[in-house]
Chains A and B, each alone.
Chain A
């Protein structure tokens, strides 16, 4: 297998491996099924977000509002179900949250595809507006008794077992959601024409317009898709935690974007892979959960993630710049 050293994925993979080795050396208990399953569980919500962000980045845009959309969708779903006293099975709650997320994503689409405004500032605006709306008009109280349907979901276990030493490990069905999202998005990006259009727009929006790709339509889809994924991630988060905290999730944006960008997706658009995103995700999840095992206090977490972003994007950027200067 030829190793392509210039690709981000290779470097991230090596860092992930190095991290795991280092941590196992320091704390042998790290290399165990319980740890693995813990990490897998912790990557579900972030992973779904990351896949959404990947799609946006490939199209040449950026979205920072997804966590606010997720919080809004999950909280309003939970609140609605509680207030209506409906005993809805978990997939009903999920459907509602996804629907709300899609709606909010369409709001982004109005400004980005409709008014052709810059994506970073638009999504900064919607981040604030959606969060503000949620906390002002929907509610700011923690809901600790989530509807039974959601509670049920958190108890659905995919794998469970006990290690020789007597430690439990389990993986909830929620993980399957991540797998589905990954598979579905892979299919979208690589097997559908719509997915190729997304890459095309990211590669050259002007050329896409000229050959008749309906750029606006694709953009509407993209932001609705991210919204839907955010709704899904949100409701999974609330179900697994069994608590709907409207203040949750916001603040995760930077880690998610870090994961996607580390995995090789470019801000300018047109480039990015699912594999890369998953590798970046692995690195971020490892850093967020296991730094402490390396003796680095959690207060240094942001520093490490920030430094990773800078190194992980700085090196390829520097190489590209040197090549460009060299070529005149």
Chain B
């Protein structure tokens, strides 16, 4: 191929504070080509995106756009050359209309001081038509569903004549049907000569749209080949470097009194007739795309979301969960999806992040705290979960993702819950910690806790869980025993 690719990365390396995020990354993207950048969280994908967007500068290597070589880009040059990034939070203005959001960057670029409403609307309309999407132009973006917001974000990228659209984990917040619409749009973009860099760790979608897959692991490219040369198993292997073999979960007593019984749980619009039981020591997996209701179920079990009908019984006792405080008191713990904003107090110390769950237990008369007792217990848990924390009084944000997750786990485990719900427990966690956390889940099972794991990572579910529930459209669609299924089969079931 003698044709110059639209974008070419050449031996790009980048390190942060001694950690090598990218190591000699090279690959290219041709015009109108859809390339998938596949890699687990923590593999270096986001750093790569930031370098292409001009938000970060590589330590070495360069980026070539249409043959023009850049040692470092900045956001302005990057955009001017046609690179547009759609971040996971879309970067939209919730208080402005769809038309305004789409046309804003173009209006900025035009240099006009006055607002040309008609022109902006026309631009917005034409862009939406280009991707065959129909959203009323005057709706305020904050009222839109997540999928529609994403479409507006894509439209905005196109309004600026993007030649390469980088989408960072675009399907995280979409339902299956919306994923299909998105994939159709990507095909349309390709037909128009716009290249797409589709960054994801979700195997099924990757195959549907990409011609080329670049697999990145631990900051280096391990594979760069046409999509046809991969299949799900080999792709998974390249991304993780391991094969998943069978279940590691310890057996549990299926005849024991269930620790959790959910009966007919429903919430208008999101959950329908959810019923299942969980036995002590059982690890139950829940899979499903967002919109399937899996996060809503987790939140409902933790008191974060009110339900309209149904009962939740813990050890036979019906629970009335008005809020997380009730859930904690009942013995339910919840490790949230977004560790950084929902799980941790980043600027507070590691010990405090653990201790915050145990204050009532260590309160003495007149509200005084048994501080030394708290400290000792927290330290103890640091050891038990093998948290690499040389200074337990340092702010928890100084820890790596894997260690941070262990801190959150420690907080809940210290309180001896009856049930622990884990939402995406190994997102953004390095391989070593991932294995350790799976080991911790196995230990929890051995100690007869009821564990619920919600995850996108199908091999993880198969490895850790006894049973897996597949949710679709707010219902439990299927139930599988993990020993009797495989990742491919699960993927099919999820997608069907």
Contact = CB atoms under 8 A, between A and B. Distances in A.
Whether chain A touches chain B in the assembled complex (some CB pair under 8 Å): yes
Interface of A: 190-196, 199-200, 202-204, 206-208, 210-213, 270-271, 325-328
Contacts of B105: 211-212
Contacts of B100: 196
Interface pairs A-B: 7 shortest CB-CB: A328-B305, A270-B95, A203-B93, A203-B95, A207-B91, A210-B91, A328-B299
Interface string B444-487: 00000000000000000000000000000000000000000000
19 contacts: A192-B113, A192-B115, A193-B114, A194-B113, A196-B104, A196-B115, A199-B93, A200-B104, A203-B93, A203-B95, A204-B92, A206-B91, A211-B105, A211-B108, A212-B75, A212-B79, A212-B108, A270-B93, A270-B95
Interface in B71-101: 75-76, 79, 87, 91-96, 100
Contacts of A327: 305
Contacts of B94: 203-204, 270
B261 interface: no
Given A203-B93, A203-B94, A328-B296, A191 B114 contact: yes
Given A190-B115, A212-B108, A213-B108, 20 more contacts: A192-B113, A192-B115, A193-B108, A202-B95, A203-B95, A204-B91, A204-B92, A208-B93, A210-B75, A210-B87, A211-B91, A211-B105, A212-B105, A270-B93, A270-B94, A325-B306, A328-B296, A328-B299, A328-B304, A328-B306
Contacts of B134: none
Nearest to A191: B115
A327 B299 CA distance: 10
Contact of B95 (A192, A271, A326): A271
Given A193-B114, A213-B108, A326 B96 contact: no
A302 to B, nearest CB: 32
Contacts of B3: none
A249 to B, nearest CB: 32
Contacts of A271: 95
A316 to B, nearest CB: 15
B364 to A, nearest CB: 33
Specify which of B79, B95, B115, B300 lies most central, judged by the most chain A CB atoms within 10 Å of its CB.
B95
Nearest to A58: B95
Nearest to B142: A203
Contacts of B104: 196, 200, 211
Given A199-B95, A203-B93, A328-B305, A193 B79 contact: no
B95 A193 contact: no
Contacts of A208: 93
Contact of A193 (B92, B96, B107): B107
B325 to A, nearest CB: 13
A271 B92 CA distance: 15
Given A213-B108, A328-B304, A192 B96 contact: no
Contacts of B95: 199, 202-203, 270-271
Nearest to A325: B306
A326 B87 CA distance: 27
Contacts of A204: 91-94
Given A200-B96, A203-B93, A207-B91, A192 B75 contact: no
Contacts of A328: 296, 299-300, 304-306
B229 interface: no
A196 B108 CA distance: 10
B299 A192 contact: no
Nearest to B270: A328
Contacts of A211: 91, 104-105, 108
B68 interface: no
A119 to B, nearest CB: 18
B92 A207 contact: yes
